[in-house]
Structure 1
Amino acid sequence: MININTVKASDFSMDYFKFGAGPRNMVILPGLSVQSVMGSADAVADAFTMAVNDFTVYTIDRRKELPPEYSVYDMARDTAEVIKQLGLSDIYLFGASQGGMIAMTIAIEYPELVKKLALASTSSHVTDEQFESLNKWIELAKKGDKEGLYLCFGKMVYPSAVFEQFRDYFINSAKTVTDDELRRFIIIANGAQNFNITDKLKEIRCPVMTTGTFEDEVLDSDATMEIAEQLDEEHEFKLYMYTGLGHASFDTAPDYKKRVYDFFME
């Protein structure tokens, strides 16, 4: 069983877990979720088994003490501080969905920390239309409708076959959600509103791989293509688009973790 550790900064603390014993450092920034990925540490480690001899892998959560408003820019600043506190630099940074927004911001604002950047189903900006998807979840969380939130989240993030297969899992998971987790979810989801770093993307100087799916019901496939338009003439940029796997292709594509691993090992 993987232990959860805590980094204490000057005015906040942040949980993380690590696995692997390789000479390179990989950092995973997960996307928005109803409950913290810290509860899935063993599953994450199992998914990246191929990397444990080449990488020491850190998965970093959002901060514990959330202020009433907490933007993606704030998340990036705090995450960068934790990365520094852990003594890491030249990291191989992987961010999915909102985690990808944080990862891009770190690569722009703290270029000395990032050696390579892998992005999944993310966006360099959140339009009003894109935020409508997040707002559906926020409104359910505000109502305290835990089952409705989990089901709506699952239906939008996963392809229909996967959603139906795991419907009972979503319903059962909703029963374990606390009021504090709903409060945190609302703050973190709201943090994506008005996010926009599109005009700064060309400042990223490390190699980048971005992936998406043509059936993204959360951020839309155009979001991935817009990142590609900004970076496709930059040094060592790669794009791959999945079909039929939903927003969470980083979970549903059987080759996804290997694709990230191969990119980082090049």
Structure 2
Amino acid sequence: MATVSCVKTKDFEMDYCKFGHGERIFAIIPGLSVQSVMSAATVIEDSYKTISDQFTTYVFDRRKEVPEDYSIEDMARDTAKAMKELGLKDTYLFGASQGGMISMVIAMEYPELVKKLALGSTSSQIHPEQRKVIDKWISLAEAGDKEGLYQEFGKEIYPPAVYEQFKDYFSEVSKTVTDAELKKFIILAKSIPKFNVTDGLKKINCPVLALGVYEDSVLDADATMEIAQELDERPDFKLYMYIGYGHAAFDTAPDYKQRVLDFYLEGE
């Protein structure tokens, strides 16, 4: 059963959840969210139940208290510290969206922590035209419009049919958002437009799988293709593009988790 714990370093505290009992270590860094994903630990565990015999899985939150100017590079270094504090190394790392950005930095700066890297709906840099959705989310959060933020968030990351299914849920859960959560969301979201590690991608020395979505309305498909352009000459790089599943294909595409698992286990 998934357990939520807190790893403490001399500089910060970070929640994480753990489940499974396999010998391999699977580490997940989720994307930007309005509220912590730790409340959904049992749902996450259930979605990965098919790999519980092969992997022990860790899902990392962001640190509890974030400074005002908190970069994605800072997030990566803090997550790496948390992983080291837990004694992790040679992980099978998966990062989604902003979590993919964090994961790329970890793979560059802490190669001993990553055996294989899977990236979902992410970007190695943010171009001006890719800021539109992020800027809208920030504006809604700064205005204190919790329901508007949740609705726009769901509308942009999910396909229309999925959004319509959960629209009422988004309205209800938005009522539980605290002012502190809004403030943290703003800080985390503002880090995204400043991110650019494209020139460092070739420093990643582990096998990489990039999964993108042609209808990604948050970062767009070009973001994934730009990563591919930097890495596609490598024999250990793989690219897969989804059609019709939206930015959060990692939650909505039925074969997504199996595709990541096949990549991790290939050649082992």
TM-score normalised by length of structure 1: 0.98
1:161 matched residue in structure 2 = 161
Report how far residue 113 of structure 1 moved. Answer: 1.0
What letter matches 2:172 in structure 1?
A: N
Q: Could you tell me how far apart the structure 2 residues matched to 1:176 and 1:2 are?
A: 23
What letter matches 2:253 in structure 1?
A: A
What letter matches 1:77 in structure 2?
A: R
Within 5 A, what are the aligned runs for 1:1-266?
Answer: 2-266=2-266
Q: Could you tell me how far apart the structure 2 residues matched to 1:36 and 1:7 are?
A: 15
CA shift digits 1:7-58 (9 cap, x unpaired): 1111111000100000010100000000111011001101111111011000
Q: Could you tell me how far apart the structure 2 residues matched to 1:235 and 1:104 are?
A: 18
Give the count of matched residue pairs. Answer: 266
Report how far residue 192 of structure 1 moved. Answer: 1.3
Equivalent residues of 2:211, 2:224 under 8 A apart: yes
What letter matches 2:195 in structure 1?
A: F
Equivalent residues of 1:245, 1:252 under 8 A apart: yes
Q: Could you tell me how far apart the structure 2 residues matched to 1:228 and 1:187 are?
A: 29
Equivalent residues of 2:3, 2:19 under 8 A apart: no
Unmatched runs of 5 consecutive residues or more in structure 2? none
Report how far residue 2 of structure 1 moved. Answer: 2.8
CA shift digits 1:207-229 (9 cap, x unpaired): 01010100010001000011011
Equivalent residues of 2:122, 2:212 under 8 A apart: yes
Helix, strand or coil at the partner of 2:60:
strand
What letter matches 2:42 in structure 1?
A: D
What letter matches 1:260 in structure 2?
A: V
Percent identical among aligned pairs is 62
Equivalent residues of 1:31, 1:98 under 8 A apart: yes
CA shift digits 1:59-101 (9 cap, x unpaired): 0000011111111000000000001001010000000000000
Equivalent residues of 1:141, 1:182 under 8 A apart: yes
CA shift digits 1:113-154 (9 cap, x unpaired): 100000000000012222221110011011110110001111
What letter matches 1:214 in structure 2?
A: Y
Q: Could you tell me how far apart the structure 2 residues matched to 1:87 and 1:2 are?
A: 19
Helix, strand or coil at the partner of 1:166:
helix
TM-score normalised by length of structure 2: 0.97
Unmatched runs of 5 consecutive residues or more in structure 1? none
Helix, strand or coil at the partner of 1:234:
coil
What letter matches 2:16 in structure 1?
A: Y
Helix, strand or coil at the partner of 2:3:
coil
Say what the alpha-carbon RMSD is for the aligned residues.
Answer: 0.9
Q: Could you tell me how far apart the structure 2 residues matched to 1:61 and 1:192 are?
A: 17
Q: Could you tell me how far apart the structure 1 residues matched to 2:141 and 2:6 are?
A: 27
Larger mean Cα displacement after TM superposition, 254-263 or 111-120: 254-263
Q: Could you tell me how far apart the structure 1 residues matched to 2:241 and 2:120 are?
A: 10
What letter matches 2:83 in structure 1?
A: I
Report how far residue 258 of structure 1 moved. Answer: 1.1
Helix, strand or coil at the partner of 1:19:
strand
Q: Could you tell me how far apart the structure 2 residues matched to 1:241 and 1:194 are?
A: 25
Q: Could you tell me how far apart the structure 2 residues matched to 1:62 and 1:126 are?
A: 21
Q: Could you tell me how far apart the structure 2 residues matched to 1:181 and 1:49 are?
A: 29
What letter matches 2:120 in structure 1?
A: A
- Which consecutive aligned stretches of 4+ in structure 1 deviate over 3 angstroms post-superposition? none
Helix, strand or coil at the partner of 1:239:
strand
Equivalent residues of 1:202, 1:234 under 8 A apart: no
